[in-house]
Amino acid sequence: MEKKKSKVYNPEVELAKGATLDAAAYDKTQKIKVTAAKVTVGGIPGRAEISGIATGHIPEAGLEGTCDLWLSIFRYMRPDGTTDHVAGWNIPTVLKSGQTAAATAKVFADYINAGTRPYRATATGGKIKIVFIVK
């Protein structure tokens, strides 16, 4: 039986790993676009830009008038050789009629910052920046 070789920690490789950021807006007048799709262990932020004034959510309309961000599942190796598994995260918001892009970005940032996941966010105008924090 062959002995498994233990992997060697390579900071360049491990710090480049991270979650893929994706987004969708289900609103007629407010849109969201991902401008940087990777939130890395090494501190490169994911970014999204929201534009327009929201039409808003109508309860009977299902997803209409909502907006979502997703962060994918990923794994990375720590310097001590252990592997961390980071769970994916669906971040939804229900839009109010007349809600600005800046208000939507703030709602997302507040939701992320209130969560227990290893992410923090800042909102500036209609732009949101998400960073991975090692706990």
Sign of CA dihedral 126, 49, 22, 28: positive
pLDDT digits over 69-128, tens only? Answer: 999 999 999 999 999 999 999 999 999 999 999 999 999 999 999 999 999 999 999 999
- pTM, full prediction: 0.91
For range 21-43, the mean pLDDT: 97
Q: Are 28 and 36 in contact (CB under 8 A)?
A: no
Q: Domain coordinates of the chain in residue numbers?
A: 11-132
Give the ranges where 1-135 is alpha helix by DSSP (H): 11-15, 101-114
